[in-house]
Chain A
């Protein structure tokens, strides 16, 4: 019975994927939002990218700042 149910589920859910596309307005809206976000937050992104790609550099940098002598 389980196999039959699985087959039913596969066939039924298979129909869901048919013809779902965004409208022209949605496409334009997503496109514009991406460009706006990319333009407005480049610094925040670069910092995050730096931390993600070179976490050790960030960690050493932060440790060096924390450990600096009091007279500096």
Chain B
């Protein structure tokens, strides 16, 4: 077996071990769009394939693959925010207006969540809203770090988060009212 075939086999084993988790990770963070997730997974595993021979073994291969995936997703966020048209103002009036529309959430908190419904509400949001919500509530990234990734001020990110949250809750009320009711 030559070296090329050997690295292909090694790559195949690593790919099989990681693709499901990596795809799930990417899919959620790229707006739940299958074709986009596929493209980014391709970029991630291409970097894995090319870097495999330089991998020094400082961590497990799985951790290394995840690190590459995280970096690619951060690049994706940067690019997406750069292209986003939304003015990220820290306009308090706009936030207050949203807050008034959403009201209290006690009635929602007690319920069991229907994941399909949550996914539909999530898909209905603008892309930059989805991104900040994922960063904040799934990845536990601080506002300061989100600001660094997006190139915005912390106050602007805070305001964007409030709007994103309010939009999601309003959408949840609208689409999932039967579950909530």
Interface residues of A (CB under 8 A from B): 1, 4-18, 20-22, 26-27, 29-31, 33-35, 37-38, 45, 49
Contact = CB atoms under 8 A, between A and B. Distances in A.
Question: Binding site of A, secondary structure by majority: helix, strand, loop or mixed?
Answer: helix
A30 B115 contact: no
Contacts, number: 93
Contacts of B106: 4
B50 A26 contact: no
B166 to A, nearest CB: 9
- Most chain B Cβ neighbours within 10 Å, of A5, A9, A30: A30
A4 B105 contact: yes
A28 to B, nearest CB: 10
B138 A30 contact: no
- Give the interface SS of chain B, mostly helix, strand, loop or mixed: helix
B41 to A, nearest CB: 5
Contacts of A14: 113, 138
Nearest to B140: A10
Interface stretch (B20-28, B65-73, B78-86, B144-152): B20-28
A4 B19 CA distance: 35
A28 B104 CA distance: 47
A16 B118 contact: yes
Contacts of A16: 28, 32, 115, 118-119, 122, 138
B28 A20 contact: yes
Interface in B84-110: 104-106, 108-109
Given A13-B118, A14-B138, A34-B49, A26 B133 contact: no
A30 B38 contact: yes
Please name the 8 residue pairs, one residue from A and one from B, whose CB atoms are nearest each other, closest first.
A15-B115, A20-B24, A22-B23, A21-B20, A34-B45, A9-B137, A13-B137, A15-B113
B169 interface: yes
